[in-house]
Amino acid sequence: MSADNFLGIYVVNKRKYIARSCWSECERDCANCEQRIIFMAKSLREAIKLAQKELQNPNEVFEYGIHFLNVV
Protein backbone atom coordinates (compact mmCIF):
# COMPACT_ATOMS: atom_id res chain seq x y z
CA MET A 1 0.00 0.00 0.00
CA SER A 2 1.42 3.35 -0.97
CA ALA A 3 0.34 6.67 0.38
CA ASP A 4 1.16 10.09 -0.94
CA ASN A 5 0.35 12.04 2.20
CA PHE A 6 1.64 13.46 5.46
CA LEU A 7 0.29 14.06 8.94
CA GLY A 8 -0.39 17.79 9.02
CA ILE A 9 -0.72 19.39 12.47
CA TYR A 10 -2.00 22.92 12.93
CA VAL A 11 -3.19 25.04 15.82
CA VAL A 12 -6.69 26.51 16.04
CA ASN A 13 -7.30 29.69 18.04
CA LYS A 14 -4.19 29.03 20.16
CA ARG A 15 -6.29 26.43 22.04
CA LYS A 16 -6.07 23.09 20.28
CA TYR A 17 -3.98 21.20 17.78
CA ILE A 18 -5.63 19.28 14.97
CA ALA A 19 -3.93 16.61 12.88
CA ARG A 20 -5.23 15.66 9.47
CA SER A 21 -4.18 13.23 6.79
CA CYS A 22 -3.02 15.75 4.15
CA TRP A 23 -2.21 14.95 0.52
CA SER A 24 1.35 15.74 -0.55
CA GLU A 25 0.12 18.44 -2.95
CA CYS A 26 -1.82 20.17 -0.16
CA GLU A 27 -1.79 23.94 -0.54
CA ARG A 28 -2.09 24.31 3.24
CA ASP A 29 -5.44 26.07 3.26
CA CYS A 30 -6.45 24.32 6.47
CA ALA A 31 -9.48 26.55 7.04
CA ASN A 32 -11.29 24.83 4.16
CA CYS A 33 -9.75 21.37 4.51
CA GLU A 34 -12.02 18.38 4.01
CA GLN A 35 -9.47 15.70 4.90
CA ARG A 36 -10.32 13.52 7.87
CA ILE A 37 -9.16 14.48 11.34
CA ILE A 38 -6.71 11.97 12.81
CA PHE A 39 -6.63 13.45 16.32
CA MET A 40 -7.10 16.61 18.38
CA ALA A 41 -4.80 17.65 21.23
CA LYS A 42 -4.90 20.38 23.86
CA SER A 43 -1.14 21.07 23.93
CA LEU A 44 1.88 20.86 21.67
CA ARG A 45 3.41 18.16 23.85
CA GLU A 46 0.27 16.03 23.57
CA ALA A 47 0.16 16.61 19.80
CA ILE A 48 3.74 15.38 19.41
CA LYS A 49 3.08 12.27 21.48
CA LEU A 50 -0.06 11.44 19.51
CA ALA A 51 1.73 12.08 16.20
CA GLN A 52 4.58 9.74 17.11
CA LYS A 53 2.06 7.09 18.14
CA GLU A 54 0.18 7.55 14.86
CA LEU A 55 3.37 7.16 12.80
CA GLN A 56 3.90 3.77 14.44
CA ASN A 57 0.33 2.65 13.73
CA PRO A 58 0.52 -0.16 11.13
CA ASN A 59 -2.95 0.73 9.82
CA GLU A 60 -1.87 4.26 8.85
CA VAL A 61 0.77 5.19 6.30
CA PHE A 62 2.17 8.73 6.23
CA GLU A 63 4.75 8.65 3.49
CA TYR A 64 6.08 12.16 4.18
CA GLY A 65 5.95 12.03 8.00
CA ILE A 66 4.78 14.95 10.12
CA HIS A 67 4.46 18.57 9.05
CA PHE A 68 3.55 21.41 11.40
CA LEU A 69 1.45 23.91 9.48
CA ASN A 70 1.46 27.56 10.54
CA VAL A 71 -2.04 28.72 9.81
CA VAL A 72 -3.56 31.89 11.19
Q: Is 55 helix (H, G, I), strand (E, B) or coil?
A: helix
Phi then psi for residue 6, to 5 deg, are: -145, 165
Rounded Cα distance, 65 and 42, in Å:
21
Higher confidence at residue 19 or residue 71? Answer: 19
Which domain, by its residues, includes 20? 5-69
Query: Tens digit of pLDDT for each residue in 20-62?
Result: 988 888 777 776 778 889 999 999 999 999 999 999 988 888 8
Q: Which of 56, 58, 54 is nearest to 21 (CA)?
A: 54
Domain count, the chain: 1
Q: Is 4 helix (H, G, I), strand (E, B) or coil?
A: coil
Write the burial class of residue 68 (CB in 10 Å: 0-12 exposed, 13-18 middle, 19+ buried). Answer: middle
- pLDDT at 2 (0 to 100): 52
